[in-house]
Amino acid sequence: MQSVGPYRFTHMLGTCPVGKAWAAIDEQGRFVTVAVLDAVAASTPGWREAFAGTANAMSQRPGGQAFAYADFFATEPWAAYPAEVGAGAEKLFRALGQEYQAVPTEKDGSTDPVAEIPRQVSGPPHPVSGVPQPVSGLPHPVSGTPLPVSGAPLPTSGAPFAPWALHAGGLPTVPPAPTPQPVDDAPESPAPVSAAPADPPPYDPFSGPVRRIKPSDPPPRRTGLWAGLTALALVAVASGGVAIWAMASDDQPDPYVPPTGTVTASSTAAPVEPGLKPWAQAALYSPEEKALAVAAPSLVFIETVFTGYVRDARTNALVHPDPVSFIRRCSGFVVTPDGHAITNGSCVKPTESHARWLAVDALARLLVQDKKLPAAEMPGYITANVGKVRFTGVEPATEPISTVRGQLNSAKGNLEQEPAIKAEVVRSLPEDSGNTALIKFARGNMPAAELNTSASLVGETPVRILAFATSDAVFRNATYRPQSKLVTITGTSQRGPVSIYLVNEDLGTVSHGGIALDAAGRVAGLMYQDQAAPDRANRAILPASTIGTLLTEAGVPNTLGDADKLYRSGLDAYFGGNSSGAITQLDKVAAATPDNRLAQAYRQNAAERQRLESASREQSGTLVIVLVASAGVLLVALVILAVLLVRRRER
């Protein structure tokens, strides 16, 4: 079955003159729609750029259609869209100004891109036949006056003509003008001679009947010489063209493709999977991609498990004999190489009232599971009991037990062993003072982020957020990966003495504690819960200055390690086009900080780009030699022509 990247096609959804839309599934079984640009269109100048530019524009526009993954440098470029957000592939082709034709399903002829019955697809998509072919040669001249056209011009319908778009149909041809028949040069006929007059006229010296000066015959045309010189020039041009075509078709290096996620830092290294692929979430080589690459290694997934007993608040008697547990999940980021990290305070150390409500909710779910409480009565049970109980440890005067663990790159819920790293809470600020917490992991040598405590967040301006998210429906063992999104600041709010900034979108339930980035990839703020909103979504940003205050009170300065500085220097070299320098520096970072998987991915990326640059230089050198040789042949032909012309004049 045909596939591209991590996606396997199931059936075709629709076609247009330049490509096809497919239904597909990824490695986790999630449905997507994939827009594939045909190879013929991709090789036509302007179409590959238009396809990639339109997909990026749709992805970055607020409220637009973001693609899940794309490869704009493949022989047949493609972009994949999550099926749950709609027919992304169809929207992309329609945004390109194409006439999209949906493929009827086998069941009822409907064209739903997700719900229709999958069909087995074999072989790659066929290229579209409507793409115009280039026309060689100059148009023939037209002789004669053009014929008038009667009648009014016919109206046209359809979308306006896009200057960068391809249009099907052949180019109109103009019939050649009729060629006049050649006329042979015939000698002049002598004038007829009449009989001598009886009386000859008087002599006139200026009216002689016979031409006194006879013009000489024109020199013979050197048709063979000119034909030879023309043939020589054509041979030179043709040989150069053939050589260029041969190099372009046989020795052309493969187009550059960003890392797919399964890359190696060296030939002996094990395959790695970066948690975040910046090249798939921002335009290639853009400042946004670089900012994500700088900050992403420090992002950490945090899971806290609270275990305790629900007791009657007046008598301390146990409401339920067994302990009750609930889980809090959020995002965070490392601020020192030795393992200090910042996250949301309510995730690792909620208030007593909030912890009590979560414990009663967990108890109600346990009673429903044991069939001791109808599911419909859960809300009423929680409301009736949350004010009458306490949530304690084993003893009434002790705190519930909490266990904090974190994971880098990608994470799995309910994981207690490696790669989960145990942590403890160092300091926490209450909700009315910032609701942030400083934790310390039980392991060092971790990639750190840099704070920008003077960052200015202005209303109605875009800002990129970075946090963990999941698309899994099952909570307990869900898989989480870093995701980013461009959001807009819509206003401000107040939490005690702290001002927070409200945004229009979020990344999901575990995004609180994530990062709001500045243009250089530094931390401009912490993702926060909008407690005034009915859904309490994570659509607020706490300024980085509050984080700086917490670190100062705890005596923990925000510092970057030597590997962190070298990583940023390697990224500067990579995005600056210095592949050799990037390889050297990122190699050292990958060896010094194995948790920084993006260092390994960008190192491989730089090595691939260096290989393609080398192949391009070799091809350019060969091309110069061929062109110089062709120019030499033409120069010799011109010299011969000049010599022959001089000799002709001397005669």
Report helix, strand or coil for 623: helix
| pLDDT higher than threshold 70 for residue 385 | yes
How far is residue 632's CA from residue 624's CA, in Å, rounded to a whole number?
12
pLDDT for 223? 59
Tell me whether domains 3-102 and 287-554 share a fold: no
Question: For residue 632, what pLDDT band results from cuts at 50, 70 and 90?
Answer: confident
> Worst-scoring range by mean pLDDT, 33-42, 120-129, 247-256?
120-129
What is the DSSP code string of 157-204? -SSPPPTTS---SPPP--PPPPPPPP----PPPPPPPPPPPSSPPPP-
Nearest to 511 by CA among 534, 491, 543, 536: 536
Instruction: Work out the angle between the directed axes of helices 579-592 and 562-575 (0-180°, nearest 10).
Output: 150
Nearest to 209 by CA among 227, 183, 224, 190: 190
| pLDDT higher than threshold 80 for residue 238 | no
Long-range pairs of 60-64 with CB within 8 A, sequence gap ≥ 24: 60/283, 60/486, 62/462, 62/486, 62/488, 62/504
**Which helix (H) or strand (E) covers residue 9, if one does?**
strand 7-16
pLDDT for 378? 93
Contact at 8 Å (CB) between 442 and 430?
Answer: no
Contact at 8 Å (CB) between 243 and 251?
Answer: no
Whole-model pTM: value is: 0.58
**Which helix (H) or strand (E) covers residue 618, if one does?**
helix 597-650
pLDDT for 246? 54
Nearest to 80 by CA among 126, 119, 27: 27
- Written out in words, the top-level CATH class of the domain with range 3-102 is alpha beta
| pLDDT higher than threshold 60 for residue 132 | no
pLDDT for 516? 95
Report, as an integer, the average pLDDT of 417-430. Answer: 92
Report angle CA 570, 575, 578 to the nearest 5 degrees: 70
Averaged pLDDT of the chain: 78
Report, as an integer, the average pLDDT of 94-123. Answer: 60
Long-range pairs of 469-476 with CB within 8 A, sequence gap ≥ 24: 469/507, 469/508, 469/510, 469/511, 470/508, 470/510, 471/30, 471/82, 475/413, 476/413, 476/414
Q: Which residue has the higher pLDDT, 104 or 363?
A: 363
Q: Which residue has the higher pLDDT, 291 or 107?
A: 291
Which tens digits make up the pLDDT trace of 479-511?
999 999 999 999 888 877 888 899 999 999 999
Report angle CA 324, 328, 329 to the nearest 5 degrees: 150
| pLDDT higher than threshold 50 for residue 182 | no
How far is residue 118's CA from residue 631's CA, in Å, rounded to a whole number?
59
Structure tokens at 287: 């400042």
> Worst-scoring range by mean pLDDT, 52-61, 74-83, 143-152, 207-216?
143-152
Report helix, strand or coil for 91: helix
Report, as an integer, the average pLDDT of 526-549. Answer: 87
Nearest to 589 by CA among 576, 577, 601, 575: 601
87, amino acid identity: A
Report, as an integer, the average pLDDT of 509-533. Answer: 91
Contact at 8 Å (CB) between 78 and 34?
Answer: yes
pLDDT for 191? 38
Which tens digits make up the pLDDT trace of 255-278?
445 554 433 334 445 556 788 999
pLDDT for 460? 82
| pLDDT higher than threshold 70 for residue 306 | yes
CATH architecture of the region 287-554: Beta Barrel (2.40)
CA distances from 55 to 81, 92, 169 (A): 10, 7, 26
Domain ranges of the chain: 3-102, 287-554, 561-651
Tokens 């006194």 — which residue?
212
